[in-house]
Amino acid sequence: MKRFLSLALAIATLAIIFSLVACSYGPGAKYDAPAFPYPETKMIPVVNDYHGTEITDNYRWLEDASSEEVQAWTTAEEVFTHSITDPLPQRTWLESRFNALWRYDDESIPKPVLDGERLFYWTKKKEDEKWVYMTKENEAAEGTVVLNPNEWDDTETLGGVNPSRDGQYVAYGVAHGGDENPVVQIMVTATGELLPDTLRGWKQSVGSWMPNNEGFYYTCKPLEGEVPEGEHEYWHSAWYHKLGTDASADQLIFSDDEVKETWHGAWLTEDAEYTVYRRGLFNANELYFRKTGDTGEMIPISTGMENEYGVDIVEGKILITTNEDAPRKMVYITDVDRPERDNWKVFLPEHETDKLSHIAMINGHVYASYTHNTYSLVKIYDLDGTFVRDLPFPTIGTGGVGGRWSSEDIWVSFSSFTYPPTTFKYNFEADEMVVYHEFPVEISVEGVVADQVWYPSKDGTLISMFIVHRDDMKLDGTNPTLLYGYGGFNVSMRPNFSTSALTWLEAGGVYVVTNLRGGGEYGRQWHEAGMLGQKQNVFDDFIGAAEYLIEEGYTTPERLAINGGSNGGLLVGAVTVQRPELFKVVLCAVPLLDMVTYHQHGLANIWAEEYGSSDDPEQFEYLHAYSPYHNIKKGVKYPAFLVTGGENDARVDPLHARKMAAALQAADSGGGPIMLLINKSSGHGGGTTITTRISQQAEQKAFLMDQIGMEAPGK
C-alpha cells in the first residue's frame, strides 16, 4: 500500500513539474487562465436531493483524505502552488522580518500556586522553537525546568499544563501536529518522575486539583466504540480521577444523555469551598454548584439553555454575569445560601452603550471589563457595589486584568495598533500602572496611525472599521491594502498590536480590520444579526468595507487583498463568489466552504447553533444561497485565490479547501491563479514550531503582496 502511494505521488509530482517547464512565472507576472498548468482534476458527479432541490457535487471524491488518489492530487496542487510562491522575493524579506520580530528571549508573569509559595512560569530563548515550562520554590529561588518541548519531536506540543494547588504535581498533555488531542500525564514536579496514572477518553483536559492532591477534575470525549459510530467527536463530559487509581475507576460527574453537542466543565472556587458545574453550547449554558466533596444534588444557578451565564463565588456571595434580558450583559449578586433567581439583586446594570465582557475578582475588588466602540475600559468596584475608579490604561486599545481575590498582585496587559504589547503591575493604593514587561524587540511605530471610521452596510447599518496606515499616506487610490474580517461566534475584532500588520505597513501597505455583524463587539443583538438566517449581513458588511475603501480613495480593486481564517475563511470565500470584481487576491485560510454538508464532518455539527443545518428545510435554503462552494459560476474571472488547510485540523476538515480549489480552477476564466496548500503537521492554528509558522506566514503574505504589486522594502 505504501509503495503504491509513493509511486502515485511521484508520478503526479513529475507530471506537474513537466507541465510547468513550458511556463515561466516571475514576480508580479500576469497570468491567463489557459496558461495555468493546474493538475488534472476529474469530476465524479454525485447527486443529492435536499428537500426537493437536487444538488450535483462533482468533487465529493476529494473529501476522503485517506485516499491515495486524493493525496496524489493534493501533492500535485502543492507543487503548482510552490512553483509560484517559492521564487517570490517578498517571501525572503518576510521570512527575515518575521525571524527578527518573533525570535527573542522572553519570560512570562510568574504564577503562584494556590496553596504555598511555589511559582510556575514560561520562558523562551531566541533560538527556541517552543516555550519552556519552569518552576521555582519561591521568588528568591533559582528556576528549574519542568517541561521543555524543544527536546521533543518538532510536531509535539504541550496541550495544557495544570499544576496541583501546592505545586507538588503537574498534569500536562502532549498533542501532535496541531491535532488538539493531548494525552495527559502526571509528573512529580521535584523529580520529573511520571506516575502511571492514565485518564479516560480522548481530547483530555485537566481542570481543578483537590487541595490535598487526592485527585482532580478533567474533561474528555468518548473513544470510538463507546458511543454510536461517528459520534466520538461529541458527548463531551466531566470526570473525577483519584490519584494512583486506574482510569476505569474514574467517576463521571457531569454529562448529557440527550444533546450530544453540549460541553461540560467542573472547577473549584479559589478557596476550594465550592465546585461549579457548567453545561453549555456556544451561546447558552447552565450553571450549578455545591460544596466541594458533597455528593448530594447539585444546586442550580441557571437552567434552561436560553442565555449565557458566568459565575464567581467569593466570601459567601455569588456574582452572576449574564445577557439574560441584557444584550450588552449585566451582573447580579446573591448569597450562596439563596441562589434562587428570585433572590438575585442587580450588582451592575446593563450599560447604555458599552458591552460588559466579563468580571474578574482580584485583591478584594471586582474588575468589570467593558468594550466601548471595540476598545477596553475596566471599572473597579467594591464587593458591596460601590464604584471605586477606572483602571488607568495608557491610551485607547485592548487591555485585560488578571489576578486572584486573595492576592495583592494585579496584572494588566495592554496593546493597540500603535502600542506594542506591554504588561503592567497595577498598584491599587497609588492607582499607578508600573511597567513589568515590554515587547522584547525594538520596533518603531513612529508615524503609524489607526483611524476608526464608520460606513454604511447594504441595509444602512453603520459598521465600524480600523484603518492602520502611515501618517503620510495619500488618498489617491494607489495604496496596496489588506482587509481582514471575521464576523461570527460572538468573537470581537479589537485594536491589538500585530507584528504581521507592522510588516505590511513597512512594505508600504494599509492594514484594515472591520467589525462585522456576527461578532461580539456590540453585544448579543450584534451577534445575532450575523448568524443563522442573517448570515448574509456579514458578507454585505465586508463588501461595504471594500466599497468604502475604494470610494474614499484608499485603494482600488487591483490593489485590494482580503484575508480571513476559519469562519473568516467562509467570509472571504463567500464575498469572492458574490463580488469577484471587487478584489485582486484572496487568502482563504482553514475555511468552511461547503455549507450544505459541513455539519456531517468531524465535530462541525456543534456549529449548527451558529449557522443552521441543511437537515432543516428552511435553514437549507439560506445555507445553499450563500455557500461559497455551491455558488461558483463557470466562466467568471475570479481573483487570485490561495486556500489553505491544516493536515491535522481538529476543527475544520481540509476537504473544504480541496473542493473549493478544484471547483474554482474549473470555473475560472482569465483570473487566478487558484492555489491550494494543505500544511503538513499543522492544525487549525498552523505549524507547531516558530520556524514552520514563519515559513507558512511568509509564503501566504508574499503571494498577497506580489499580486497587488507590493515589492519588498529595499528592492
Q: How far is CA 468 from CA 375, 388, 416, 506, 565, in A?
A: 15, 35, 11, 12, 20
> Among all chains, which residue has been given the C-alpha cell 485527585?
215
| 434, β-bridge pairs | 425
> Among all chains, which residue has been given the C-alpha cell 507558512?
696
The set of residues, in sequence order, having a beta carbon less than 8 Å from that of 397 and lying 6+ positions away, is 375, 376, 414, 415, 416, 417, 419, 495, 496
- Residue 419 to residue 472: CA distance in whole angstroms: 19
Handedness of CA 352, 356, 359, 365 (dihedral sign): negative
State phi, psi for 446 to the nearest 5 degrees: -65, 130
- Residue 332 to residue 308: CA distance in whole angstroms: 13
Long-range interactions of 57-65: CB distance < 8 A, separation 24+ = 57/597, 58/662, 58/663, 58/666, 59/658, 59/659, 59/662, 59/663, 62/655, 62/658, 62/659, 62/662, 63/601, 63/653, 63/655, 63/658, 63/659, 65/653, 65/654, 65/655
Report the catalytic residues.
566, 684
| 516, β-bridge pairs | none
Q: How far is CA 281 from CA 207, 416, 560, in A?
A: 19, 31, 37
3-state helix, strand, coil in the chain (%, to 5): 25, 30, 45
> Of 165, 157, 159, 253, nearest to 204 (Cα)?
159
> Of 352, 588, 399, 426, nearest to 494 (Cα)?
399
Packing angle, helices 68-85 and 655-667, rounded to 10: 70
